Structures are given as C-alpha cells and as structure tokens.
Amino acid sequence: MQQSVVERIKTSCTVVNVNKDAFHFLTDEQKELVESRQVTVAFKKGEIIAKQGTFTTHMLVLSEGLAKVYYEEDNKTLILRIAAPGSLIGLTSLPQNNNVFQYTASAYINTTVKLIELEIIKKLALENGRFALALIDILCEISIQKNGRFFCLSHRQSYGKLADIILCLAGNIFKKSDFEFALSRKELAELSGMSTESVIRTLKHFQEDGLIKITGKHFEVIDPEGLQKICQLG
C-alpha cells in the first residue's frame, strides 16, 4: 500500500504517539497470563478514562477509539498527546513512588481499553528482558515525541502551531488528506495551545491561501507542503 502525501510529511510535533506492541515479545505462557487477567471496558465520547491524581492499579491499553491525554493544573489543561489504538496509558505510574495517574485521559470518541494490572506488567518486565526493553523503547518514543511537541507549542506562533496539528491529524490519525473532523474548534484550540477565536481566524486564513478546504465538518488538506513550510517558519 502506498503512503499518501500527508503521511510522508514530517512534522516536528506529532501529537499522536505511535506505539509499538511490547506484548508481542512475551512467551505464549506470559501472553496467556495477560489475557486471562485483563478486563475490557468501553467508554462513551467525553467520558473520563483515567483521572490525574487517582491511584493507578492498572495500565490501560487503548484498543479502539481515540483519547485525549492531558495534564491538569490550576484549572488549566495541557494536552500531552492523543492516544490512538495501541497506545499505553498509565505506564509512567509504574515506579512505586509515582503510583497515581500523572495525567487525565478522556475519550474523544467512543473508546475501549484493556486494563492490565501494573503488578503483572512489573512481573513480566522483571522476568522477560525483551519485554522490558520494549517498554523502554516506548517510553523513549514518547519522550522524543514530547520534545517535539514541547518545542512546537513554546517556540512557534499560532500559524505554525495550527499547521502542525492539522498535518498531524491528517498524517497520523486519519492517514489521508481529507477527513470528517469530529473535534470542535475549541478542542482544536486546546490541542494547539491557542484561543478558539484565533483558531477560527487562522483556519480562515489557511483557506484563503488555498492550503486547506473546510466544508462543515469535512476537512481537506490541499497543500501539505505549504503547511509544512508554515510550520518551519514559525
């Protein structure tokens, strides 16, 4: 299958974290243990999957849907990433002294997650080096992605931030240049760290410049290279 243009575009701050499958390194016996103990839970759009500050007994594996992972403080929120199928939530609570969720996760759309006890994860990491190394890999990936997003939100200005988010959505979530967009303007604003009004004005600008086309909820990226250029300029 050929990659579309939007998928090939590299953005500095992908908000979506691509997760590898660590479980694939488990032995059949270990896989069975995980499967025998795991529980699947479905969340409706808008529901909170995990709340920052509550005790983490289980790690979550997002199996279907899309979740917003965000950090909360003083009534302000910072979206850390969008969790897509395969993403792990709650891995950072593995250390004994951080056994609460370090962020909140809520469902953008209807979402199902599998719950696996952290104690089992810890046990498996201890006895299976390849699995442990895979977890390390995932944590490294998340760290690298976060650096890019951090840079983008703190060093670019509105045009660059929004262009980046649009490319991320097209290239990493929907994986095509046109898509029905489920998120509100307010949520787009939250993602790009700007006000709703600024998002609207900037989107309008992008349309006038022929970079994107919006018809109701339908988004189309017309000039990905142009958007990428805006990302880089600031």
Interface residues with DNA (CB under 7 A) are 157-159, 184-186, 193-198, 200-201, 203-204, 216-217
The residue count for the chain: 234
- In whole angstroms, the minimum distance from the beta carbon of 119 to its own copies comes to 12
The region, left, alpha or beta by phi > 0 then psi within -120 to 50, assigned to residue 7 is alpha
What's the rounded Cα separation, in Å, for the pair 177 and 46? 26
Looking at residue 81, what DSSP letter applies? E
Pattern of binders to its own copies over 52-91, x per CB under 8 A?
Answer: -------------------x-xx-x-x-x----------x
The CA-to-CA distance between both ends of the chain, in Å, stands at 33
- Transcribe 122-162 into DSSP letters: HHHHHH-HHHHHHHHHHHHHHHHHHHHHHHHHHHS-HHHHH
Binding status of residue 18 toward its own copies by CB under 8 A:
no
- Residue 74 partner contact from its own copies, DNA, none using kind-dependent CB cut-offs of 5 to 8 Å: its own copies
Residue 71's binding partner among its own copies, DNA, none (Cβ under 5 to 8 angstroms by kind) is its own copies
Residue span 179-208 as binding mask against its own copies, x where in contact by CB under 8 A, dash where not: --------------x---------------
198 binds, among DNA, its own copies, none (CB under 5 to 8 A by kind): DNA
Residue 98 contacts its own copies per CB under 8 A: yes
| Residue among 130 and 204 whose Cβ is closer to its own copies | 130
Burial of 141 (0-12, 13-18, 19+ CB in 10 A): middle
